[in-house]
Amino acid sequence: MPMKRSERLVAMTHFILDRPRELISLPFFSEKYDAAKSSISEDLGIINKMFQHEGIGYLESVSGASGGVKYIPAFSKEYSEEFVHQLCRRLEDPERLLPGGYLFMSDILGDPEATRSIGRLFASAFRDRDIDAIITVATKGIPLAYAVASYLNVPVVIARRDPKVTEGSTLSINYVSGSTRKIQTMVLTKRSLKEGSKVCIIDDFMKAGGTISGMKNLLNEFNAEVVGIGVLAEAEDEDEERVVDDYISLVQILNADDRKGSIEVIPGNLLNYL
Amino acid sequence: MPMKRSERLVAMTHFILDRPRELISLPFFSEKYDAAKSSISEDLGIINKMFQHEGIGYLESVSGASGGVKYIPAFSKEYSEEFVHQLCRRLEDPERLLPGGYLFMSDILGDPEATRSIGRLFASAFRDRDIDAIITVATKGIPLAYAVASYLNVPVVIARRDPKVTEGSTLSINYVSGSTRKIQTMVLTKRSLKEGSKVCIIDDFMKAGGTISGMKNLLNEFNAEVVGIGVLAEAEDEDEERVVDDYISLVQILNADDRKGSIEVIPGNLLNYL
């Protein structure tokens, strides 16, 4: 028995939300839900209208024989601003201050709801860039990288500080950590990234930018092109010039001083990209 | 202007899917969508019916003054069986064999769609356990831990092999790695887990079970109770007895031999828990 429209809308909404950026054809829906193409077309109109109304993105129509619709997650500026401001307030807690001007953020990085929202904001900001993969370096950027990747529907590649036996052969580079000035190693499994990929770097924290600059060098070895850089939090670095520019940040940490117990957190530049 | 039912169903479906295991009250929906409680009640009936029809779970009704509905992700046995069998075929590729009987799985762990499905299956298998947090040890289990956590709506806690300056004070233990017989360290930030938490351990791979047994010891120090253990792949270990029992596995790796190029992958015991 065919479904009623009301029932079909529930099923289709789930199906579409579950497949961001995947092209789904009208005939596919028509067969799956045993409904005329004209009905499916009306359904998609309602879904598109409501996605925009709810501020979660829109359905992009692709015309032609192999056409259909794609759900493009693009979260509203209103939603994004509210989330960023809440995050600033949550981070602006002197109890988070750690020696060296670092900030305890593991609770936020460990909260799937927060990481999902962070992923949404970056995916929205990067929505028009042509991205093949997200890359991060272990450990703390990993949940953010997955959150972004799941809304952009691309794989995640994880660079490590140490090679592991269960990874196969690797490519490695040395780089200078911005904050500690120590020489560090970064490795990436050879078969984890195709030559010539367009990648977006995601990380939790950037001070001088040494780690991200290291990732860029490593990606160079794979002839990969960096088409975007996103960091959750950027912090001031008094000692040196930042080695990375052209990045998107969610928040900016100012005047973090664990001795004085002072800290200020303000929105980063991400909101300008929405 | 109030929404039409068809429009409301799209909005409500998204709202509910986005908040697994969160109690949402009828009056809340009624106000949010400017609709009578009786209409909302009917809508929830349709959504519940369709979620079950699609095999993605159900709405649990909580009665009483502070009542409402909760979306419980519980994926169907059919969906789960298909996914597990596909995963077995995908893993049963001799090219994945690495020295020592290990298997290259980073491509699957890097695929957000696959990790989401894995998260769904574990969340379904653990749906009746009372879980406060998911724990894993860096690095490869992290995406799986987040995927499970996002469907169970609980935080993720990550143990590390090395303490980091940006984490604050930590508790550490030493344990013997099952496969290498080396003494290893595992640390967990003190403020990352509340005393007495009920936790579920998630990891990508288990051979002798040394790492998971190490995590159990570490959790002991936090007076945490282990209420579940889930591993993506379990492998045979000829040399010794497994030190962990009572776990759920998605797949089982048999006869992996990189010299002979032979490997067999069969479903684990997870399907028995659905």
Span B115-131, pLDDT tens digits: 999 999 999 999 999 99
Is residue A114 pLDDT above 90, yes or no? yes
Q: Is B68 helix (H, G, I), strand (E, B) or coil?
A: strand
Check residues A1 and A161 and name the one with the higher pLDDT: A161
Within the 41-60 window of chain B, which residues sit less than 8 Å (CB to CB) from chain A? 46-47, 49-51, 53-54, 56
Nearest CA in chain B to A188: B106
Contacts of A56 in chain B (CB under 8 A): 14
Q: What percent of chain B has pLDDT over 70?
A: 96
Give the least confident one: A251-265, B26-40, B82-96. A251-265
Helices (H), chain A: 5-17, 26-32, 37-54, 77-91, 106-109, 112-125, 142-152, 210-221
Check residues B44 and B258 and name the one with the higher pLDDT: B44
pLDDT in tens, B193-229: 999 999 999 999 998 899 999 999 999 999 999 999 9
| Whether A30 contacts A3, CB under 8 Å | no
pLDDT in tens, A216-272: 999 999 999 999 999 999 988 766 667 788 999 999 999 888 888 889 999 999 999
Q: pLDDT confidence of A65, banded at 50, 70, 90?
A: confident
Q: What percent of chain B has pLDDT over 90?
A: 74
Of the candidates B246, B234, B240, B197, the one whose C-alpha atom is nearest the C-alpha of residue B218 is B197
Which pLDDT score is estimated for A239? 65
Which pLDDT score is estimated for A272? 96
Chain A interface disruption, residue of B4, B6, B7, B10, most A CBs within 10 A: B10
Is residue A76 pLDDT above 90, yes or no? yes
Chain B: give the shortest CA distance to residue A8, in Å: 8
Provide mean pLDDT across the span B137-148. Answer: 95
- Tell if the CB–CB gap between B112 and A155 is shorter than 8 Å: yes
Select A5-73's CATH number: 3.40.50.720, 1.10.10.10, 3.20.20.80, 2.40.100.10: 1.10.10.10
Within the 159-198 window of chain A, which residues sit less than 8 Å (CB to CB) from chain B? 160, 165-168, 189, 191-192
Q: pLDDT confidence of A12, banded at 50, 70, 90?
A: very high
Is residue B105 pLDDT above 90, yes or no? yes
Chain B: give the shortest CA distance to residue A60, in Å: 17
> For chains A and B, what is the number of CB pairs under 8 angstroms?
157
| Length of chain A in terms of residues written | 274
Is residue B88 pLDDT above 90, yes or no? yes
Average per-residue pLDDT for chain A = 92
Q: What does A138-207 look like in DSSP terms, one character per residue?
A: TTTTHHHHHHHHHHHT--EEEEBSS--GGG-SEEEEEEE-TTT--EEEEEEEGGGS-TT-EEEEEEEEES
Q: Are strands A248-257 and B225-235 parallel, antiparallel or unpaired?
A: unpaired
Provide mean pLDDT across the span A33-42. Answer: 96
pLDDT in tens, B152-188: 999 999 999 877 766 778 888 988 876 677 888 999 9
Within the 98-117 window of chain B, which residues sit less than 8 Å (CB to CB) from chain A? 98-100, 102-107, 110-113, 115-116
Nearest CA in chain A to B55: A11
Q: In angstroms, rounded to a whole number, what is the distance separating the alpha carbons of residues A40 and A27?
A: 9
Give the CA distances from residue B107 to residues B49, B110, B200, B255, in Å, rounded to whole numbers and listed in that order.
36, 5, 25, 22
Which pLDDT score is estimated for A165? 61
Nearest CA in chain B to A3: B50
Cα-to-chain-centroid distance, residue B11: 27
Q: pLDDT confidence of B100, banded at 50, 70, 90?
A: confident
Domain boundaries, chain B: 5-73, 77-272
CATH class of A77-272: alpha beta
Within the 81-100 window of chain A, which residues sit less than 8 Å (CB to CB) from chain B? 98-100
